Each structure stands twice: as C-alpha cells, then as structure tokens.
C-alpha cells in the first residue's frame, strides 16, 4: 500500500469557466491556470503521483508546455492513471475536500465522484468528495480563489 496527499490552489477570475471534478459549474468566475485549472482533479492527480513517489504535477505536465494549454484536466488524470497501472497499483480510495465560498458544491458532487471513478477505473464508493466554505475569511472566504486537498490510498495489484 502507498499513501499520497496533495493540495492545489487556483485564483478565481472572470471570463473563465468553473470546472471541478470534470463538471462545468455555472458561476460568474472560473479558475485561472494553464490547463482548465480543475483544482480538484489536480489535487487528486498529484496525490496519486505522490503515492507513487513520482513528484508533482508540474514535473510531468509543465505549465510551460503549450500542449497542456487549456487541456481538460481529466485527460491529465487519465495519464496519471496509466502511470499507476504501469507500476501495478490501483486506487484503494480517494478522500478530497474542496474549499470554496461559492457556489454550493452539493448539487455537483455526485457527478464529480462518478467522473473521477470512471477515469480511475474504480467504484464511485472509493471516491469521497466534500466541500467547505471559508466563512468569509482569507482568500477562499473573500472569493479570490479555491483550494482542493486530496489523500489517496493505492493498493498493489495481486500477482
């Protein structure tokens, strides 16, 4: 077994879509980044890379590479899944938390879980996503950015 954890942070800006867990969420701001800036998928992907001792997201998908400009982060996660499979691991479980003042995440969490389970070839009951607010404090509470945190357990494939 291997455990990985990660945190990702992106600034909120006007003129960008808000995409979390592969779900497009109606909102007046989106996340700024080289890719689609899906902070949740980035945290989950990086927690898997961490569990595999493969470094961070930027090492494998640098924001200086034009081929990753505006890329769907679920495609990045699919590549991370392939790295995991090459090393003969599978997801035991993922537990992630989104920190966002607005919008409410509850209506979208089940679809996020399903998208992530599909991409990681596991059951939706192996993916937990929660959300909390900044209670008007800090950059999350002031709606300047969003954060996602993830921890994952990877299990070795049986021989």
Average pLDDT, the chain: 96
- pLDDT at res. 158: 82
Sorting pLDDT into bands at 50, 70 and 90, what band is 3? Answer: very high
When pLDDT is averaged across residues 51-68 and rounded to a whole number, the result is 93
Q: Are 45 and 73 in contact (CB under 8 A)?
A: yes
Is it the case that residue 39 has pLDDT exceeding 90?
yes
Domains of the chain: 2-156 (3.30.1330.50)
Surface-to-core class of residue 70, CB atoms within 10 Å of its CB (0-12 exposed, 13-18 middle, 19+ buried): exposed
Token output for 93? 């479980």
Which residue is listed with tokens 């996340």? 31
Token output for 86? 């090459």
62-90 residue pLDDT tens? 989 898 898 999 999 999 999 999 999 99
By percentage, how much of the chain surpasses pLDDT 70? 99
Token output for 30? 């989106």
When pLDDT is averaged across residues 120-125 and rounded to a whole number, the result is 98
145-156 sheet: strands from edge to edge: 30-31, 2-13, 145-156, 89-99, 127-132
Is it the case that residue 159 has pLDDT exceeding 80?
no
Q: Which residues are annotated as a binding site for a divalent metal cation?
A: 8, 10, 42
Q: Which residues are annotated as a binding site?
A: 8-10, 34-35, 42, 56-58, 61-65, 100-106, 139, 142
């Amino acid at each position: 077994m291997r455990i990985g954890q990660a945190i990702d942070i992106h600034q909120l800006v006007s003129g960008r879509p808000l995409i979390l867990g592969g779900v497009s969420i109606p909102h007046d701001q989106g996340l700024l980044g080289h890719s689609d800036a899906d902070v949740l998928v980035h945290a989950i992907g990086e927690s898997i890379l961490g569990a595999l001792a493969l470094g961070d997201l930027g090492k494998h998908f640098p924001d200086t590479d034009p081929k990753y400009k505006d890329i769907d982060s679920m495609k990045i996660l699919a590549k991370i899944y392939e790295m995991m499979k090459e090393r003969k691991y599978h997801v035991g479980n993922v537990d992630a938390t989104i920190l966002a003042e607005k919008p409410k995440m509850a209506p979208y969490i089940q679809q996020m879980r399903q998208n992530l389970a599909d991409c990681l070839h596991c059951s939706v009951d192996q993916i937990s996503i929660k959300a909390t607010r900044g209670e008007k404090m800090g950059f999350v509470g002031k709606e300047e950015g969003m954060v996602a945190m993830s921890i994952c357990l990877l299990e070795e494939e049986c021989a």
